[in-house]
Amino acid sequence: MSELTIKLIVILIPGAIATLIFGKLILHKEWNSFRFVLYSILFGVVSYLTLQLIANGINLFRSNDLPELTIWSNLNDASSIPYKEVIFASIISILLAFLATMIENRKVINRVAGFLGISGKYGDENLFSMFLNSKEIEYIYLRDIKNQLTYHGWVKSFSENDNISEIRLCDVAVYNYSDSKFLYEVGEIYLSLNKQEIIIELANIETDGQEKTKQEQQ
C-alpha cells in the first residue's frame, strides 16, 4: 500500500464516520460498496468545507488569520497528512451525520417538494416501514392469513427484507382469524412472516367506546 493511498484513507475518515452514523440512524436497505464510498466522500468534503468556513469565520474576529486547510493544497503530497484537520473534521462529521439524519427521518426534503408541488413521494422507505414508523402507531392488529391468527399488541420494533416482514410486539393477545375468538395472551412475541400474507390494522378507540380500524395491507 503506497503512502498516497494511506493518506487518502486517513482523509476519508470523517466521511466514513458520518456515513456509519447516518446509516445506523435511518431506515434503508443494505448499501452496496459504491454507495457507501460515495456517501463517505460527500460527507467528508462537506466536513472539510464546514471546517474551512469555521476557520474563515474565526478570522473575521482575530488579527492573526488562521491559514487555509492544507488538505486543499497538498492533496498529492503523500508525505504530509493533516492529522489535526482530520480530527476536527471528524468531530464536525458527527454533527453533520445527526443533522442529515434529522432531515431524512423528518422527510424535510420531501415535505418541501410536496409543498412546492414538485413531488408527492413520501420518502425512500416502503409503505410498510413508513406506516409502522408513524407517530400514530401504538396498538395494532396483525392478521396472519396463512396461519389464521390475529395478534393484538403494541409495536416495539420491526424490520423487513424483500420477502419477509419481521415485527416484535408487546402485551399481545392472540385470536382466531376467522371468528376473533380469544386464544391466549403473552407479554412479548417475535414474528417473521411473508409480507404477502399479513394485514396490519391500526385500532382507534373513539370517545363513545366503539373501536374502529384503519387498515394497511401488505
In a domain, 103, yes or no: yes
Task: Return the half-sphere exposure (C-beta side, CA atoms, 13 A cut-off) of residue 87.
Answer: 3
For the chain, what is the domain count? 2
| DSSP-based three-state secondary structure for 79 | coil
User: 7 and 104 share a domain?
Assistant: yes
Q: pLDDT digit string (tens) for 192-209?
A: 988 888 888 887 654 333
Please report where in the chains the cell 445506523 appears, as a residue: 24
What sign does the dihedral 150-151-155-158 (CA atoms) show? negative
Q: Of 112, 145, 177, which closes a domain? A: 112
Q: Higher model confidence: residue 213 or residue 141?
A: 141
Residue 127: per-residue pLDDT: 67
